[in-house]
Amino acid sequence: MPQIQFFGSQVGGGTVINYSYTDMPWKLVFWDFWNFLKYARSLIWVVMPLWPCYGGSFDELSLTFQHVWCLSVHTVLIILQVIFLLGLLPLLFILPGWLFVSGLVTFFAVNALICRTLNGSTIQYTSDPKYSPHWERFEHEQWIFLNGVSIGESWLKDNLNRLALTFGRPVLGIHNRTSGIIFDLIECIIQRSFGYATTDVRLVYKILKDKLYNPQYTTVVFIIHSQGGIEGGLVIDWLLQEVPQDLLAKLEVYTFGNAANHFNNPHRHQSSQEAQVKHPHILNDMFQRFPHFTGDIEKTGIKTGFENPLSHPALSNDQGSSELESHGAALDRAIGHIEHYAHTGDFVALWGVLHFITNTRASAEIPRFVGRLFAHHATGHLLSQHYLNDMFPLAKNAFGEFTGCAESNEFMDSIISLPGQGEGDNIIQAIREGLGHSFAALDHIALPKSDVSVQGRLIEREISILNGPVRVRDLSRLWQYRNGQTPRIIRKV
Q: What is the pLDDT of residues 422-445, one digit of tens each?
A: 343 443 344 434 444 444 444 444
Task: Tell me the β-bridge partners of 225.
Answer: 256
Q: Are 57 and 175 members of one domain?
A: yes
Cβ atoms of 55 and 392 within 8 Å: the answer is no
What domain count does the chain have?
Answer: 2
State the DSSP code for 56: G
How much is the pLDDT for 331?
60
How much is the pLDDT for 453?
47
* Residue numbers of the domain that contains 198: 4-266+333-415
For the chain, 493 residues long, the average pLDDT of each consecutive 10-residue run is 68 57 90 92 92 93 94 97 94 91 96 95 94 88 97 96 97 97 96 95 97 96 97 96 93 97 85 60 36 31 33 34 36 86 95 84 64 93 97 94 94 80 40 44 42 47 58 92 83 40
Instruction: Determine, yes or no, domain membership for 104.
Output: yes
Q: Are 224 and 346 members of one domain?
A: yes
Give the whole-angstrom CA distance, residue 169 versus residue 383. 18
Instruction: Determine, yes or no, domain membership for 477.
Output: no
Q: Are 114 and 141 members of one domain?
A: yes
Q: Are 230 and 358 members of one domain?
A: yes
Q: Are 376 and 442 members of one domain?
A: no
Q: Are 387 and 317 members of one domain?
A: no
Instruction: Determine, yes or no, domain membership for 485.
Output: no
Phi, psi dihedral angles at 7 (to 5 degrees): -120, 145
Which one of 368, 384, 415 terminates a domain?
415
227-242 vs 199-213: helix crossing angle, rounded to 10: 50
User: H-type helices in 252-303, by residue range?
Assistant: 270-278, 284-289
State the DSSP code for 471: B
Instruction: Determine, yes or no, domain membership for 437.
Output: yes
Q: Are 12 and 106 members of one domain?
A: yes
How much is the pLDDT for 384?
97
How much is the pLDDT for 446?
41
Using DSSP, how many helices (H) and how many strands (E) does the chain show?
A: 18, 15
How much is the pLDDT for 284?
34
How much is the pLDDT for 80?
97
Q: Are 72 and 202 members of one domain?
A: yes
Burial, 439: exposed, middle or buried (Cβ in 10 Å; 0-12, 13-18, 19+)?
buried
Q: Before 129, cis peptide (omega within 30)?
A: no
Q: Are 219 and 92 members of one domain?
A: yes
Instruction: Determine, yes or no, domain membership for 234.
Output: yes
Helix (H) or strand (E) holding 254: strand 251-256
Instruction: Determine, yes or no, domain membership for 219.
Output: yes
Cβ atoms of 192 and 261 within 8 Å: the answer is yes
Phi, psi dihedral angles at 337 (to 5 degrees): -165, 140
Q: Are 255 and 284 members of one domain?
A: no
Q: Are 377 and 427 members of one domain?
A: no
Cβ atoms of 232 and 176 within 8 Å: the answer is no
Dihedral angle sign, alpha carbons of residues 82, 85, 90, 95: positive
Give the whole-angstrom CA distance, residue 279 versus residue 203. 41
